[in-house]
Amino acid sequence: MATTYDHPGERAAEDPVRLIAVRDTPLSLDEVFAAVSDESAGGTALFVGTVRDHDGGADVAELGYSSHPSAEAELRRVAEKVAAEFPVRAIAAVHRVGDLRIGDLAVVAAVSCAHRAEAFAACRKLIDDLKRDVPIWKHQTFTNGTEQWVGA
């Protein structure tokens, strides 16, 4: 549960949701980091999710993400909820869909706050809620020919 902050210098920004997207094009760390830049922020937490070469003890050959048409709106709702629970200065999240290769960026999320502890906590909440609540599904094909849907 988030802490309530009563100090005027620790209030959240008026419109902290700066960038929300679900895209079929490569993601940019620089774009997401720039979106949460804020002169009043003393801490920025950035989470980068990449496609790894294994999952559950099996080697991954291919991976694809698909999403429901409501995914971007749900991602915005998640970000707005996190911004309401924490003293967020700025928040951003972008998720990739389509076919990805090992090492590709799948998701980039960032939060800036007045202090680092708040930025870490808010960013963790953002990515955890995104993974749980946003209708984006992962389809993995393993080198042994088996397949798995995650989140579906």
Q: What is the pLDDT of residues 138-148, one digit of tens each?
A: 999 999 999 99
Q: Are 122 and 82 in contact (CB under 8 A)?
A: yes
In the predicted structure, residue 93 carries a pLDDT above the cut 90: yes
Over residues 7-51, the pLDDT tens digits come to: 334 444 478 999 999 999 999 999 999 999 999 999 999 999 999
Percent of the chain residues topping a pLDDT of 90: 88
How many structural domains is the chain composed of? 1
Q: Are 94 and 126 in contact (CB under 8 A)?
A: no
d(CA 117, CA 1): 14
Summary mean pLDDT of the chain: 92
pLDDT confidence of residue 82:
98
Helix (H) or strand (E) holding 72: helix 71-85
Domain of 80, CATH number, reads 3.90.1170.40
66-84 average pLDDT score: 98
Strands 105-113 and 147-150: unpaired
The pLDDT confidence band at residue 151, using thresholds 50, 70 and 90, is confident
pLDDT confidence of residue 2:
41
Q: The pTM is what?
A: 0.89
61-74 average pLDDT score: 97
Asked whether residue 10 is domain-assigned, the answer is no
Asked whether residue 92 is domain-assigned, the answer is yes
Asked whether residue 7 is domain-assigned, the answer is no
Structural domain for 71, as ranges: 15-142
Asked whether residue 24 is domain-assigned, the answer is yes
